[in-house]
Every structure is written in C-alpha cells, then in structure tokens.
Amino acid sequence: MAAETPSKSTRSAATTAPAAAAAIADEEERDHQQKEQEEEEEEEKEEGGDAGDSARTIFRDLQFYLSYGVPHERRGSVRTLINEHGGIVLTKMNPNAIELVESSSLREGKPWVSVDFVYDSARDGMLRNVADYMARSVTRESARAAEGGGSEDRTPSKRRGRTPYTARDDVRMIVFLDKHYRKALRFTDNVPLSVWGIAAGEKVTSHSAASMHEHYQYRLKSLTSVERSNLLQNAAGEENAQRRKEIVRANYLASRKSAPATAGAARSEPPVSAVGNRSTTPAGAPDAPPSESSGSSACGASGAPFSEANFTSRWQQIIADRSRREWLQFFFDPASREAAAATTSASEPASAAASRRRRRSDAATAEQEQKREEHELPPPKKRKARTHAAVAAAPAQATAHATAHATARRAARAPPAAPPTQRAPRGDDDAAAGDDAGVSSESEIDHLVCQLQFETKQASDAVVNAIFYSSGDVAVATAFLRGANPSGFWSLEDDLLLEDLVRDATDARAVAAARRRGAFATMRVPRTTAQILTRIRYLL
C-alpha cells in the first residue's frame, strides 16, 4: 500500500501539468489581445485628436472683415466659426484682410468673398478654394467669345449697365451726412447702412443704399480736406457746364424783356454808316437824317477840320434825337443790315419804306393802348421792367450823359424819379401815371443804351444785359462792360436765391431774417441787407 501511494500522486501530477500549461497559455494570449486592443484605442484617440486640432486651425493666420452688408443675424454665427477655427475678425478693414459679404453683393473687380466660404470650410474641416467664392470675372459673353473667338472690348460697368458716380453725387452724399449726422460722425467713422437707406429714400443720388454705403467706405470716408475742396470744385464745374446753356438763354430772355421796344424797331431799319466827314450808304439803307446845318455830314461839318472834340460833340447832338439814335443803331448791330436790305423792295425808296413801317408800329401801339383802356387790363410786365430800370438809371444818367435838350424834355414829361429803395403805393390813378412815366422813359433808356454802346464799344444786347444785372446802376454796368468785376453786379445764381423774397411785402426785417438763416451764404459776393433789398425792389 505504501508503494502504491507515490505512484498515484505521480500519475495525478502528470495528468494536471498539461492543463495548467494550457491555462497559462490562454491567459497570456488574452493579455496580448487586450494590450493590442488598448494600443489600437490609443492610436485612434491620437488620430482623432490630430484631426480635431487640424479642424480647429483651418483659418490659422487668416484675418477677416465683416462688411456692413452682412445681416446682423448671420454676423454672430460667422464670427463664432472664424474664432473657433483659428481665424481673427477685425473691426476695421486693412489690405491683408478678407472682406466677407453676402453672395448677392459680389461685384466684378472687387476682392470680396462670400460668407459661404466660412460655412463650407468649417463644415468640411478643410480650407476651401477662396476663388470659388468670389465674383466671376468671365461673363456669358466672354465665355462664348472664348469658345467661338472674338468679343467686344467693354468695361465691366458698361457691360453690366452700372452708372458711375459723378462729382455731384459725391458732394450730395457728403452734404447729406454733414446736414443730418454731423454730430454722430464726430465719434465714429462708420456710417451704418440704415443711414444710406434714408438717403436713397430722399433721392440723394440715383444709386441704391448698399452702393452708396460701399462707395462711401472706400472712396469718400478717407478724403482729406484738400481732396474735399477739389471735389467741390469739380462738382461746381459739372453743374456750371450743365447750366451754362440755361444761363445764357435766361440772360438773353431777360435782356429781351428789358430792351425797349423802340430799339427793336430801330434794328429793323438799316441806317447810314458815317465816320468823320465821309459818308457811305449801303444798299437798302434809308437816307441820313437832315442836320441842323446844311451841307454837314452825320458826324461832323463838311467844311470843318475833323477832330476828336468835334466828333464827340457832334455825337452828343445826334444821340439826343430819337430818330437819329434809331439811325445810328447800324453801328452796333450790323446783322440788321442784311435783314433790312432783304425786306426792303428795290423799286421803293428806303426812306418811304422806313416811314411806312414807323407809321404801322405807331398804329399798332395806339391800338394796344386803346384795347387795354377798354378792358382795364394792367400794363404788360415788359413795360414795368423798363419803367423801373429807367427810374433806377435816370439819376446817374442825368448828371453824366444827358444833354440839356434831353434833361428839359424829361423834366417836362416825367415826374421826379423816386429812389430805388422806396416804392410808392400804386392805385388806379398812380397806375395810369406809371404808364405815362414808362412811355416817357423809353427814350431815356434808348439814349442810355446808345451812350453806353459808344463808351464801351459793346453790342446793344450786352449793354441791356449789363444794365439789368447791375440793377440800373450805370457806373456798375459801365465797369462790367469794360472788363471789371464790380461787387454791385448780380448774377442769375444770386437772383435765384431771392426767389422767395421777390414780393411787395418784403422789407428789411424779412431780408435780415433770411440772412440769419443763411439763405444767402452761397452768394458770389457778400452783400448787405440794403443791397439785397434794393435788388428785390428792382426785380419787382
């Protein structure tokens, strides 16, 4: 029994040894698999971390600027995506930044990028091609030309039909901001899009609010004071060029209204040209008026030697006579010679034709006066303008230019001239007296026009125009016709500033109140209240 016991234990040990070895091997294999799994998990974690880091740095070293055209609800999300992915959002634009705008705001030639570039890059985890999110420079026309060959060489603005900004548009935008938002612009350089929406509603320019906003950001905001001054000059040049034809036409019409009717009738009669003691009568011209001394020519006696003093004295005698002034109009309006020669019959003497035309003109004038008296019509505006011009010009002209004969005739036929700043009340009797004064003063205006023509060597239209814009001041008109620029000479632009004040009720207080409001700030030259009131009285 003792001998069997070891043998049994030996057999049991021999049977359990392979099982233990197998268990150990299985355990080692499980440990190895677990280690491999852990290593794979660690590798996956490392790979996932690298991918996350790369996704968070796709906008690294990139700077962005959000345009004002991006809606407020999208600005926050775009800013968050840029910051989360390593980008920087600037508050002010610089040349190195990418300006983000809405896709609908992309324009050819502008380095703008759509905000979809940020959304797509963040979604895909990689930086997309920025050129795909900019405005296409190749249009359908140029694409077809690239396929078939040949295309028109046109600028983008002409191809797209866009209207460029003019200097006047720039000035209107600047004036709009200075007028309504001057205080706000002291604290910030940025003008919100809503402000330009108001400007578009007020028709400041013909462009849209977004267009004006972008134009101000890139063109007008950075202008210096010198550049603004140059811009104002350019705008004034454009406006003057646009209105130059209108001004010329308005001046011409004003001179036609102020010119005496007799001057127009005289231009239709071709007179004789006479210089010294030589006389030349063109074809179709009327006979020269007879002189006081027989055998004398138009401008000097035939037997007396010619001198400047004799010529001037003779000229003063000629222009004192109304019929002679009509005859001398030939010197200053040569174009009337051809028209008169064409209308004068060759078979009829020129003097008879002139006499017949004069009788017809007088008959027509008498008929008009009779009709006006029958229907109690007010005198025409044309005569009113001539009457006030004569009243304003009579005092200065009487002392410097009128001869004794003209002075006596004016004193006998016209009442004393009132100062231009005083306007007497006009009743029914006064209106009739004013008509008589206007009729008697026509010869004075005719005399004054001829005298200024002789002194300044200017045409009749230029003289009448100068008298009108000098408010009847002969000295100012003479200085202007001789090339000076007197301060008392007005212009059409200055007269337009008085449009709301040209009425009988306007007095010195109304003019002073308008001056305080700055209504006359843009006048060509500064003027006092008295000067402005004098001009208003003259225009009435």
Give the number of C-alpha atoms closer than 13 A to the C-alpha of residue 247, restricted to the C-beta side: 14
Structure token digits, residue 132: 């795909």
Question: 189: Cβ–Cβ under 8 A, 6 or more apart, which residues?
Answer: 221
Beta bridge partners of 278: 275
pLDDT of 65 reads: 92
SS3 letters across 367-423: HHHHHHHHHCCCCCHHHHHHHHHHHHHHHHHHHHCCCHHHHHHHHHHCCCCCCCCCC
Among 513, 523, 518, residue whose Cα is nearest residue 492: 523
Where do the structural domains in the chain lie, given as residue ranges?
1-47, 63-133, 167-258, 261-377
**Which residue do the tokens 């125009």 mark?**
465
**Which residue do the tokens 């305080």 mark?**
516
In which element (H, E) is residue 370 found?
Answer: helix 350-375
Structure token digits, residue 399: 């002392």
pLDDT of 147 reads: 40
DSSP state at residue 217? I
pLDDT of 234 reads: 74
Query: How many other β-carbons are positioned within 10 Å of the β-carbon of residue 182?
Result: 9
d(CA 197, CA 213) in angstroms, rounded, equals 9
Give the Å distances, CA to CA, from 452 to 108, 254, 446. 62, 18, 10
Provide the CA 160 distance to its chain's centre, in angstroms: 26
d(CA 104, CA 102) in angstroms, rounded, equals 5
Q: Give the CATH architecture of domain 63-133.
A: 3-Layer(aba) Sandwich (3.40)
pLDDT of 353 reads: 60
**Phi, psi of 403, rounded to the nearest 5 degrees:** -85, 175
pLDDT of 256 reads: 67
- Contact predicate 90/65, CB 8 Å: yes
d(CA 422, CA 433) in angstroms, rounded, equals 17
d(CA 48, CA 63) in angstroms, rounded, equals 27
Query: How many other β-carbons are positioned within 10 Å of the β-carbon of residue 358?
Result: 15
d(CA 502, CA 423) in angstroms, rounded, equals 13
pLDDT of 538 reads: 85
DSSP state at residue 501? G
pLDDT of 309 reads: 54
Residues in the chain, total: 540
**Phi, psi of 359, rounded to the nearest 5 degrees:** -65, -40
Structure token digits, residue 411: 């004193």
SS3 274: strand
- Contact predicate 501/538, CB 8 Å: no
Query: How many other β-carbons are positioned within 10 Å of the β-carbon of residue 448?
Result: 27
- Type of residue found at 13: A
SS3 454: helix
Among 470, 487, 482, residue whose Cα is nearest residue 523: 487
Could you list the pLDDT tens digit for every one of the 540 residues in the chain? 444 445 555 555 555 666 777 777 777 777 777 777 777 777 666 655 555 565 577 888 889 999 888 888 888 889 999 999 889 999 888 878 899 998 888 887 788 899 899 998 888 888 888 888 888 653 344 344 434 444 333 344 444 456 788 888 888 888 888 777 766 565 566 777 878 888 888 888 988 888 888 888 888 877 787 777 777 777 766 666 666 667 666 776 776 666 555 444 444 444 444 334 444 444 444 555 554 444 444 444 444 454 555 666 666 777 777 666 666 666 665 555 555 555 544 444 555 666 666 666 666 666 666 665 555 445 554 444 444 444 444 444 444 443 444 444 444 444 444 444 444 444 444 444 444 444 446 677 777 888 888 888 888 788 888 888 888 888 888 888 888 888 788 888 888 888 778 887 788 888 888 888 888 888 878 888 888 888 888 887
SS3 letters across 323-351: HHHHHHHHHCCCHHHHHHHHHCCCCCCHH
